[in-house]
Amino acid sequence: MNFYEQLVAEMNELKENGLFVTIRTLESAQGAWFEVDGKKVLNLCSNNYLGFANNERMKKAAIEAIEKYGVGPGAVRSIAGTMDIHTQLEKELAAFKKTEATLVVQSGFNANQAVIPAITTKDDAILSDELNHASIIDGVRLSKAKKYVWKHKDVKDLEEKLKEAKEAGARRLLIITDGVFSMDGDLAPLPEIVEVAEKYDAIVMVDDAHGEGVLGESGRGIVDHFHLHGRVHIEVGTLSKAFGVVGGFVAGKKELIDYLKQKARPFLFSSSLSPAEAGAALEAVRILVESGEVVERLWDNAKYFKEKLNALGFDTWHSETPITPVMLYDAKVAKEFSLKLFEEGIFAQSIGYPTVPKGLARIRVMISAAHTKEDLDFAVEKFEKIGKELNIIK
């Protein structure tokens, strides 16, 4: 087989195992409803928690930023790519997050690549929750530190590993966890993690991609939600989910952010956010500073939808956030459910192994503040219809 034949053979294997990713194309803006592959459907699977991806104020801010600064930054941040719109975004984001400073990079993915290898050496230890996001796993791979993986949300196991690392003579102990776990919608036990970290003098880093704009006062994130300001050393966030744009950031003390500006490779070697992205993200921060109304609407919607589905007999697992897994357990059933939903005008993807464990396949519903009660009622009606057809509920 030549190179291309090898690639095709590997993809055929993915197809045989039901693991081949089919990529749908949108023909309209993100929103409660959108057009996918020529069909207008109710959108139940994007990360557009607050409806900001097509927000009028943010669109206007992006256009104004383009008029003033053009379309590209022209360089990496450390050479000639830092515009005052970037520093303004970092300043207002830090105030919003109630931290001393922030560093904005191109994506949440890049934020993890920026921090983890920059602050650890072969003399250090990294302790990572087994279900942490791929971008954390890759960031850890880039570090020469010794790696310890602790059982999901198991702080006892974390403490064992901390002891082990300390006894092995680690200089720094860096604990990393997702804030909200994106497949189950459950929260990291951050208060307990912080307590054990303080006992061992460890550094705590939380990647709150699904919590930024969602948890805490006006969407200030999981650290605010648990009132842990000043006790979590590093917050990583994304501007690509609830904030509705694209980009990532690191929030923390000034010394940390100053250091990252010297050492973080995605900051030093990849161009900065475009002016439109920075301008739109800045407007998102301003909207949230003005009012938490849209965040409250998100939570109202999530609660409403979950209660209706539970009343029908569906299992929504241990979700504590607007991420709503509708458990179907069997991967084939989940796939069929998703296809039937699409026929009925609802776009909600099924998720199976290896993204979630075998036997825990589901439809993952992402609730948004952009949904109206009528949209959610429409969805509930279709879930009921298909659930009965497939004998999931009575």
Ligand X SMILES: *Cc1c(COP(=O)(O)O)cnc(C)c1O
- CA 56/CA 8 separation, integer angstroms: 43
Which one of the spans 5-13, 107-115, 165-173, 309-317 is the region binding ligand X (CB under 6 A)?
A: 107-115
Q: Measured from the CB of residue 239, what is the shortest distance to ligand X in angstroms?
A: 7
Q: Are 262 and 36 in contact (CB under 8 A)?
A: no
Token reading at 312: 């029908």
Contact status, residue 268 vs residue 129, Cβ threshold 8 Å: no
3-state secondary structure of 5: helix
- Residue pointed to by tokens 């790696």: 147
Q: Which is nearer to ligand X, 102 or 135 (CB)?
A: 135
Is residue 166 flagged as an active site residue? no
Judged by CB under 6 A, the chain residues 132 through 151 that form the site for ligand X are 133, 135
Query: Is 229 tagged catalytic?
Result: no
**Who's near 250: CB < 8 A, 6+ residues apart?**
102, 103, 105, 111, 114, 115, 234, 235, 236, 237, 256, 257, 260
Rule CB under 6 A: choose which of 77, 86, 97, 210 binds ligand X: 210
State the minimum distance, in angstroms, from the CB of residue 5 to ligand X. Answer: 33
* Residue of 48, 55, 99, 107 interacting with ligand X (CB under 6 A): 107
Q: Which of 97, 153, 161, 210 is catalytic?
A: 210
Quick one: 260 or 309, whose CB is closer to ligand X? 260
Residue 169 buriedness (CB in 10 A; 0-12 / 13-18 / 19+)? exposed
Binding status of residue 248 toward ligand X by CB under 6 A: yes
Residue 306 found at the interface with ligand X (CB under 6 A): no
- Contact region for ligand X (CB under 6 A) — 11-19, 57-65, 71-79, 203-211? 203-211
Q: Which of 55, 99, 120, 182 binds ligand X (CB under 6 A)?
A: 182
Phi first, then psi, for residue 213 (nearest 5°) are 80, 0
Per the listing, tokens 């928690």 go with 49
Q: Which stretch binds ligand X (CB under 6 A): 94-102, 140-148, 185-193, 206-214?
A: 206-214
Closer residue to ligand X in complex, CB, 250/331: 250
Amino acid at 42: L
| DSSP H stretches of helix in the chain | 3-16, 56-69, 84-97, 108-115, 134-141, 155-167, 190-200, 222-225, 254-263, 265-269, 275-290, 293-312, 331-343, 373-389
Residue of the chain from 193, 209, 276, 309 that contacts ligand X (CB under 6 A): 209
Q: Is 78 a catalytic residue?
A: no
As measured in angstroms, the least distance from the Cβ of 52 to ligand X is 14
Residues at the interface with ligand X (CB under 6 A):
107-109, 133, 135, 178, 182, 207, 209-210, 238, 240, 248
Q: Which residues are catalytic?
A: 182, 210, 241
